[in-house]
Structure 1
Amino acid sequence: MNFVSIVVLTYNQENFIARNLRGIFKQKVNFPIQLILSNDHSTDATDQVIKELIKEAPSHIQILYTNHSKNLGSTPNFYDALKKVTGQYIAFCEGDDYWVDENKLQQQYDFLENNAEYAMCFHQVKNESSDPNLNNTNFSVIEEKDYTALEIYKHWIVHTTSVLIKTEVLENKIVKSMYKHPELLYFDTVLYMSASLHGKIRGFSKIMSVYTRHEAGLSNGINYSRDLMHNMLDEFIANLYGGKIKETSNWLIFSRSRIAFVKLLRKGNMFLAFKHLKWILKKRVNLKIYILKKLKSK
């Protein structure tokens, strides 16, 4: 029987990790689970909470818990966890997020088992936030259909908590290239896109997990320094794929840095503005397109 490895990354999430683990423990499945818990040297009580909670784990869940002796950083922590995967499929759930449907894993497992031409499936996710404009909204627009790597990249629709993917994807050339870059931000997107090299990718509109949006989250709020790291990721993706994905990447990099450059100039942050200007000049073909569009609209 095939089994599933679940990767949970956590760092200073003492207030969230309990519901994360309970959401995993309540899954109704007919297959064994390997739970890989990777604590990136939390300085709060995350370690103590985990050690208490894993005592509640059902017997069909084998737990591999690592509390790193030093902080690796989000991407190296992710890579380290992937090396420990032994299941035929991998699911993910960041330590501050959680699953709300007890049949989530079984439904996705059954789909991949019964449809060999698919390498990955994902589903709709609900936002949880103190901001009433975000709370209880959907993370993205997901239809019941197949998705291409370009759609996943262009619209940024796949949330980590929603994925079940074949482990064989870890062996492709794109993922192996990814391992050489511990500085990458939003590292999981490269992995999800690369599933298209192994088969089709299916989206489901059903909500089965929750994304917790809070101040300590990796992607929370406006951060122009983080945007520079995002540009590096987009450039990496462009060089790996080429074609339409590269065209999309170049436009995303230009647009992100154009907006940041204007905002930073207004704030008088010349140092950071100059860093974004370098990206704008690097993508000067898109600058010409942008100027032409602005002229035509007048």
Structure 2
Amino acid sequence: MGKPLVSVTMITYGHEKFIEEAINGVLMQECNFCVELIIVNDCSPDSTDDIIQNIIKKHPRGNWIKYISHKKNIGMMPNFVFALNEAKSKYIALCEGDDYWTDSLKLQKQVDFLCKNEDYGLIYTNANIFNQMENKFTGTFSFINNEAPKSGDFFPSILLKNYVQTLTVLVKNEYLIAAIQTIGDSINEFNMGDYPLWIEISRITKFKYLDEVMAVYRVTPNSASSYSNLEKRYDFLQSTFDMQFYFCKKYSLFEIYEKIQTNYSGFLCNKVFDLNIKYIDKNILNSFKPVSIRDRIIKLSLSFRWVYKISKVLLKLNSLLKKNVNIIKI
């Protein structure tokens, strides 16, 4: 095998039921260039390691695989960054060990586009969603992608919503390296490693959305963005808002900041209502700067123990309050 043009990074932990399908989705790729698959196992407690070793030995394309298994568990985020740092090719693709690709021409189509369009640095596609708990497909990511620009400049609108499905991405490594260096240790403060990277990369290059389903995103009880546990789900969403506020402040995006604050006020209200909690952590409350009448009402209610009753009223009035357009500067 010659020098790889594409490195595919695959982090895995406890994926014995899914890892073979994930690996086969990469090894089935039909392309006129060399590919390497970098699998980094974060000390899985199950038989994930045995399955990977067996594939390397028996699969005709087992020599595509560069396999690293940590002796101690280092955690999802450090493992994610570790895997990216192992990738040295011109282009980088990502697929976690519980997701998989379905189109054998995925990499070829994406490389062809980036080679022909030098002003673009990242291309991603649509993907099916498979709910493992219900054992059925529940749709695609088109409900998000329909709101996204089809191509061109994604910054700063990507701060309002992450349009990019990580398992479908192909990105130029030079931009990925630049983003990792720019973010630095701050990446460990967030509950997701991909979204901050797309934000930073969108500042320096154009994105392309290819409207084809080329992969499957698997929803499991442990999926970070799809926690069945409400408390974990809200913790993840809180981290998302923290990250959005971080980048708004970093790049002085005050107009975007105000839009996110509006979303955040609704999030806090729903959190109190769903979790039946009496008050929000003071540090979170102090970081919430109201920018509208609606925000002021919500912050006032969150400051008192009778917030649960207030939140019920606010939720009923939510559609009316959203129509408020008078922004109050503080």
TM-score by length of 2: 0.79
Report the secondary structure of 1:186's partner residue: coil
Name structure 1 gaps, 5 residues minimum. Answer: none
Per-residue deviation, 1:93: 0.4
Alpha-carbon shift at residue 157 of structure 1 (Å):
2.0
1:239 aligns with 2:229: no
CA distance in 1, matches of 2:270, 2:223: 22
CA distance in 1, matches of 2:163, 2:323: 31
1:197-236 matches, cutoff 5 A: 197-220=203-226, 221=228, 222=230, 223=232, 224-236=234-246
1:40 counterpart residue number: 42
Alpha-carbon deviations, 1:151-173, whole Å to 9, x = none? 4332322111110001011333x
Aligned to 2:85: 83
Give the stretch that moved more between structures: 174-183 or 119-128: 174-183
Say if 2:5 and 2:34, in contact at 8 Å, map to a contact too.
Answer: yes
State the Cα distance separating 1:259 from its structure 2 match. 1.9
Moved more, 52-61 or 102-111: 52-61
**Identity, % of aligned pairs?**
28
Give the Cα separation in 2 of the matches to 1:296 and 1:30: 54
Contact 1:12 1:43 in 2 (8 A): yes
The structure that has the greater radius of gyration is 2
2:274 to 263, 271, 293: 263
Residues 115-153 of structure 1: CA deviation (Å, up to 9, x unaligned)? 111010100011001566982401243358215133433
Q: Which residue is 2:309 aligned to? A: none
Note if 1:285 corresponds to 2:285: no
In 2, Cα distance between the equivalents of 1:133 and 1:22? 20
Q: Which runs of 5+ in 2 are unaligned?
A: 298-319, 325-330
Amino acid of the residue matched to residue 92 of structure 1? L
Q: Tell me, what secondary structure is at the counterpart of 1:219?
A: helix
Which range moved further: 86-95 or 224-233? 224-233
Amino acid at match of 1:10: T
CA contact (8 A) 1:120 1:163 kept: yes
Residue 180 (str. 1) matches residue 208 (str. 2): no
Q: Which moved more, 1:185-194 or 1:10-19?
A: 185-194
Distance 2:211 2:222 in 1: 28
Distance (Å, rounded) in 2 between the aligned partners of 1:60 and 1:24: 11
Structure 1 residue matching 2:156: 3-state secondary structure: helix
Q: RMSD value over aligned CA atoms? A: 2.7
Amino acid at match of 2:289: R
Quickly say closer, same or farther: Cα 1:242–1:60, change in 2 above 3 A. Answer: farther
Q: Deviations over 1:86-126 (max 9, x none)?
A: 10011000110000000011100110011111010100011
CA distance in 2, matches of 1:26, 1:36: 15
Count of aligned pairs: 290
